[in-house]
Every structure is written in structure tokens, then in C-alpha cells.
Amino acid sequence: MDFALTEEQEMFRRSARDFARAELEEQAKELDQSHRVALDSLKKLGQLGYLGMGVPETYGGIGADALSYAIVMEELSRACASTSTAVSVQNSLVEHPIVEFGSEEQKREYLPRLASGEWMGAFALTEPESGSDAGALKTTAQLQGDGYLLNGTKRFITNAAFADLFVVFAATAPEQGKHGVSCFLVERAAPGFTVGKEEDKMGIRGSSTCELHFQGCPVPAGQLLGEVGAGFRMALSTLDAGRIGIAAQALGIAQAALEESVSYARERQAFGRAIARFQAIQFLLAEMRTKVEAARLLVYQAAWKKDQGQNYIAEAAIAKLYASEIASQVADAAVQIHGGYGYIKDYKVERLYRDARITRIYEGTNEIQKLIIAREMLA
């Protein structure tokens, strides 16, 4: 789809690709094995503007469009999906709701620090007993004096180990279900707030995922994001936008798996010739490329519709559903092409296979995506 990209969007692709190759590619394996977050690289991404892509220039961002953001996510994910996960959270799940729903004071207080990478953020919606059923969360925010007291636990929170600011959803009126959910901006130093254990994950091991605990955590009224009771709607709006980033991440993983497979097929010898000359391998590669190209068009279409101010909810869900499904399929085929070598950690496709799996789960499982697509068609 390069024919449809502007010169600026092509510039974003080249810049992100160059950074990913120079900074992320070589260390991605070590990050995965050591379960280490590339904090230095995230700082550099902040300096390049990639941690504030959707933030208006007024607040320290670069005001890029959604398609440029998708392109950057695709390129970073080709090299290191762990690092792109942190980038996705920062742009889609933390800055987006502040830009859309924050007060002028909140925007000026937090967006410049987030966009520059001085501060990192996290999005705290999921709980031990509340994942896809986000309206059933148990964390409460009780009105007390001129603020709120937060009590509860959050689970599977990306960036939690190093985040400075947390976008936290809690029930201000539990008896009202999803209509009683509100959103708060909680700083890491808030009393009564602690970050719990680090999860030992299958994939994206170079990212941080932890529990959060709130025990009588005081939050000033000025830290309420948006209106009281509007939190559930805000969460859904944020996730709608975020799915474009995750779809682009899945696309980048699939593209990397395809590239590794083509390279390996040209080099690997069997029965006296490169395995790329066997029809069985050629058919696999052809199917892989077809899926990757189709996913790219869906991702770019969703981003384009968002940029045009059109309803993109269904398109974002379709892109996320398809791109995440084919990421697993293409990574699986890549392992098959590599044979036994694809099953050992010396080869990149082993990591890609594991990294791809989460894209079908976070920011809305693919079963939820199907419900969204059907709802949009039948509305």
C-alpha cells in the first residue's frame, strides 16, 4: 500500500526502521532471555517523538496521524515486540484518554512528560476476576472529603514495574455496574499504592507486567479523568483506538516471521539444493505473504478511517482480529520451515512464535472483537 502513503508517512517508516535495526534488533534476544525492559531505548524513542505521536504539539507531542503511528508500531515490532508493547501503551492507552478526556490542567501537567519519555505510563483496567467483562471490576473509589480513596487490585498491567503515571478505572457507584465506573490518574508515589509481583510470561518477555494494589490510596478530586461515571465509556473508546496499534504490532511480528523464513529457505540446503526450490516451501511462503499483505491493508484502512474522522470501530476490530490471527499462523509456518532449528532459542522465529500469541488476547480478546464486529453490523 506504499502508493497511498504520504512523504511524511514514508519518512516515519524509514526512521522507525532505521532505529529498530540499529537499536532494537540486536538486543531483542537478550531482552527476551533476561526479562529486561529496554529503558534506554524507550528514552531514545521519546527523544525521537515516538512516545508522543498522537499528542498535539501544544503539549509536547508531534501530532502525527494514526496511520503514521501504525507504521511506526509495525516497524518497531518487526525487531522487538516487547519494546513496541511499551510504546503502544504509552501512545494508545495512556496519552490518548488524557488528550481526549483530560482537563487543560491535566494535559499540561502530564502530556509533555509522557510525550518526551521523561515519564512512562500504564493502563489499569483488568482485574483478577474482571478481564473481558470490564464493567464488573471490583476496585472501588469512595468519595471522601475533597477526593477519593481507592481500594482493590489490578492484574496484568503492562509497564507497571517502571511507570510513573497510571490510568486507573474504579467503581465510584458499584451498584450501577458499568455506569458507575470512573477513571483516575494515579501517580506512582501515591500513598497506599504498591506495585506487586512481576509476571513470568510466555512471550513479550522484555516488557513489564505486574499486579497493582490499592489500600486506602487517596486520590485528589483533580485527578479524576473525565466525568464521574464515564469511565467505562472512556475505556471502550481508548481500547477502540488502541486496537490499531496492537493490529500493527501483530503485522510487524508476521512480517518479521516471513522475512526470516524467506532468508532461511534460500540458505538451508536439503537433498542437494536450497529448500526454497521445493514447491512445499514455496506454497507456504506464498500463503504467508498473502496473509501479511491482507493484514497490512486492513490495519492501514482502520488507521485511515480514524484519521478521516469516520467511525472506525468495526475496522479496528477487524484489523486486530485478522492481524493477530495471521501473526500466529505465519509465525507457526516460519517455525515449520525452519524445522528443528525453529524450535530452539538461537533462532528468531522461536521468539516470534511466542510473542505473536498475546496479540489475540490483550486489548480485547479476539472473541470480543467478533462481538464488536457483529454489533457494528447489526446496529
Give the 3-state DSSP-derived string for 161-205, with helices as H, strands as E and coil as C.
CCCCEEEEEEECCHHHHHHHEEEEEEECCCCCEEEEEECCCCCCC
- pLDDT value, residue 138: 96
> In the numeric block, which cell numbers belong to residue 310?
469516520
Instruction: Provide the Cα torsion 257, 259, 263, 268; round to 10°.
Output: 20
362 lies in the same domain as 239? yes
pLDDT at 1 over 70: no
Among 291, 280, 286, 284, which Cα is nearest to 253's?
A: 291
Q: Where does the pLDDT of residue 2 fall: very low under 50, low under 70, confident under 90, or very high at 90 and above?
A: low
Q: Are 259 and 77 in contact (CB under 8 A)?
A: no
Give the H or E element holding residue 218.
Answer: strand 209-220
Domain harbouring 320, CATH code? 1.20.140.10
Q: What percent of the chain has pLDDT over 90?
A: 97
Residue 363 is a catalytic residue: yes
Q: How many residues does the chain have?
A: 379
Q: Is 29 exposed, middle or buried (0-12, 13-18, 19+ CB in 10 A)?
A: middle
- The string of pLDDT tens digits covering residues 234-286 is 999 999 999 999 999 999 999 999 999 999 999 999 999 999 999 999 999 99
144 lies in the same domain as 265? no
> In the numeric block, which cell numbers belong to residue 98?
488524557
- The string of pLDDT tens digits covering residues 275-320 is 999 999 999 999 999 999 999 999 999 999 999 999 999 999 999 9
166 lies in the same domain as 113? no
236 lies in the same domain as 373? yes
- pLDDT value, residue 374: 98
- pLDDT value, residue 252: 98
> In the numeric block, which cell numbers belong to residue 94?
495512556
The model carries a pTM of 0.97
| Cα(169)–Cα(171) distance, integer angstroms | 7
- The string of pLDDT tens digits covering residues 357-377 is 999 999 999 999 999 999 999
Among 360, 363, 350, which Cα is nearest to 28's?
A: 350
Beta bridge partners of 215: 151
| Cα(242)–Cα(147) distance, integer angstroms | 29
Q: Where does the pLDDT of residue 133 fall: very low under 50, low under 70, confident under 90, or very high at 90 and above?
A: confident
204 lies in the same domain as 256? no
Q: Are 292 and 330 in contact (CB under 8 A)?
A: yes
| Cα(210)–Cα(122) distance, integer angstroms | 10
The catalytic residue among 187, 363, 367, 376 is 363
Q: Are 346 and 274 in contact (CB under 8 A)?
A: no
- pLDDT value, residue 131: 86
358 lies in the same domain as 237? yes
Per DSSP, the three-state class of 210 is: strand
- pLDDT value, residue 132: 87
Q: What percent of the chain has pLDDT over 70?
A: 99
> Which of 69, 92, 118 marks a domain boundary?
118
Domain harbouring 190, CATH code? 2.40.110.10
What domain range is 203 assigned to?
122-229
250 lies in the same domain as 165? no
361 lies in the same domain as 260? yes
Distant-in-sequence, close-in-space partners of 111: CB < 8 Å, separation ≥ 6: 52, 55, 59, 60, 61, 95, 98, 99, 102
- pLDDT value, residue 203: 98
- pLDDT value, residue 134: 83
272 lies in the same domain as 313? yes
> Which of 200, 229, 258 marks a domain boundary?
229
188 lies in the same domain as 274? no
Domain harbouring 49, CATH code? 1.10.540.10
> In the numeric block, which cell numbers belong to residue 297?
491493508
- pLDDT value, residue 3: 64
- Whose cell is 531483542? That residue is 28
> Which of 118, 152, 170 marks a domain boundary?
118
Q: Phi then psi for 206, rounded to 5 degrees?
A: -90, 20
Per DSSP, the three-state class of 52 is: coil
Output 22 or 133, whichever has higher pLDDT: 22
- The string of pLDDT tens digits covering residues 57-106 is 999 999 999 999 999 999 999 999 999 999 999 999 999 999 999 999 99
